[in-house]
């Protein structure tokens, strides 16, 4: 007999602090206004850095192959890594040989290193480890993206396109396509850090916008609310960035915008790679653990799959699990996100990881293909060396 669901266990102090900051960033309340002067200083420093590159006083470097940057303009989790993985898989399906570069946020190392499918996430970063494990693609991490690009191309000279996981604000790297990803909070209160979530003013020049809708996708691709996969999200004008929560009309972007819907896969993955259907877990009490930017989203999606969460534990994003002790859970089955699994499996090999799947509105990949350099419009048998050019947006 399945245990009755228990109230969620208390999140850690870091998780509570993160939630409080996220709440403050959704509205222009007293805390946001108190921090507003600091946000102006932050904005001035950011503008100076952009100007140095736009004026030519500092030069961006191009990797020599077409470069796609997938990033965001808000702090915290925007869901860009699933978009990176979707772009990589699309390029692979089209016959290209992509490589992925990243800073490797949260890793314990500082050097430039290749990421292998079995690389410890603590040494290479959660997202690069997940991408390497899930997409069978070359991945290199380095503090400077250009160092990562050079190393990857040296190790894999057949790579013909680079995808940069994060880096919209990394001006030293010249790029050909910028993709900006928003979660369902949009631009929040519209303030720059630390008064709001924005890393830089919005709008800014980008090629494509991908924004998450509130409703997760259902297995047939439609949103749970009935919204079609290629429909504009409620409250959004076509080609517009998500609306700030405080209700003011957002500044529109001239870039095409595409809705993204998320859903959990219909299965969980064991450490050995075998699968167990989520349907078979419905009668089991589960201990759900998440160390991501928005853990409650993961818990909600598990419940939407009719799973019984006997207990939940929200941990800080990029938590390393070295000091985590499994609570007295009465033998509950341990379930986690796919991103957390690589670290959790070291100590709890019985944990089950549930992959996250995304669906991007119709037309996104066609728009991406149309913006790739001409030599990628059809796979050449003997591709000529790519032209060397600078950033289109920096």
User: Residues marked as binding for ATP?
Assistant: 74-81
Q: What SS3 string covers 110-124?
A: CCCEEECCCCCHHHH
SS3 333: strand
Residue ranges in 55-144 assigned as alpha helix (H)? 80-93, 121-124, 126-135
Q: Which residues are annotated as a binding site?
A: 74-81
Strands (E), the chain: 67-71, 98-102, 113-115, 139-141, 161-165, 177-182, 208-212, 257-264, 267-269, 275-277, 285-290, 308-314, 333-337, 352-354, 356-360
Cα–Cα nearest to 213, from 361, 64, 47, 388: 361
* C-alpha closest to that of 334 among 372, 290, 367: 290
Query: What DSSP string describes 8-40?
Result: PPPPPHHHHHHHHHHHHTTS--HHHHHHHHHHH
344: left (phi over 0), alpha (psi -120 to 50) or beta: alpha
Q: Round to the nearest angstrom and report the end-to-end CA distance of the chain.
A: 60
140, 113 Cβ separation under 8 angstroms: yes
Secondary structure (DSSP) of 378-390: S--SSPPPPPP--
152 strand-pairing partners: none
């Amino acid at each position: 007999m399945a245990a009755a669901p228990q109230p969620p266990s208390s999140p850690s102090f870091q998780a509570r602090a993160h939630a409080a900051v996220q709440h403050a960033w959704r509205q222009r309340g007293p805390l946001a206004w108190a921090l507003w002067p600091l946000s102006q200083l932050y904005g001035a420093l950011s503008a100076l850095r952009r100007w140095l590159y736009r004026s030519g006083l500092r030069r961006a470097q191009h990797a020599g192959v077409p470069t796609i940057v997938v990033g965001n303009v808000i702090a915290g989790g925007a869901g860009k890594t699933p978009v990176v993985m979707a772009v990589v898989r699309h390029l692979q399906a089209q016959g290209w040989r992509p490589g992925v570069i990243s800073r490797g946020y949260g890793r314990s190392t500082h050097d430039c290193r290749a990421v292998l499918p079995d690389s410890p996430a603590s040494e290479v970063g959660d997202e690069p480890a997940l991408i390497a494990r899930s997409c069978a693609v070359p991945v290199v991490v380095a503090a400077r993206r250009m160092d990562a690009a050079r190393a990857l191309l040296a190790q894999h000279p057949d790579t013909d396109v680079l995808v940069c996981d994060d880096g919209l604000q990394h001006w030293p790297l010249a790029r050909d396509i910028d993709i900006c990803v928003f979660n369902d909070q949009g631009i929040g209160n519209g303030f720059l850090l630390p008064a709001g979530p924005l890393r830089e003013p919005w709008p800014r020049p980008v090629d494509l916008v991908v924004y998450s809708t509130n409703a997760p996708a259902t297995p047939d691709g439609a949103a749970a609310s009935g919204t079609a996969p290629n429909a504009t999200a409620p409250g959004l004008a076509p080609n517009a960035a998500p609306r700030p929560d405080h209700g003011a009309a957002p500044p529109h972007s001239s870039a095409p915008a595409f809705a993204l819907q998320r859903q959990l896969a219909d299965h969980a993955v064991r450490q050995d790679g075998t699968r167990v259907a989520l349907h078979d877990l419905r009668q089991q009490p589960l201990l759900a653990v998440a160390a991501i930017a928005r853990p409650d989203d993961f818990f909600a999606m598990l419940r939407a799959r009719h799973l019984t969460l006997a207990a939940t534990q929200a941990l800080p994003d990029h938590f390393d699990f070295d000091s985590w002790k499994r609570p007295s859970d009465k033998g509950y089955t341990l379930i986690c996100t796919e991103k957390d699994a690589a670290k959790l499996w070291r100590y709890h090999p019985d944990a089950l990881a549930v992959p996250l799947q995304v669906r991007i509105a119709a037309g996104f990949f066609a728009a991406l293909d149309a913006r790739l350099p001409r030599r990628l419009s059809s796979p050449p048998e003997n591709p000529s060396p790519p032209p060397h050019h600078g950033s289109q947006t920096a």
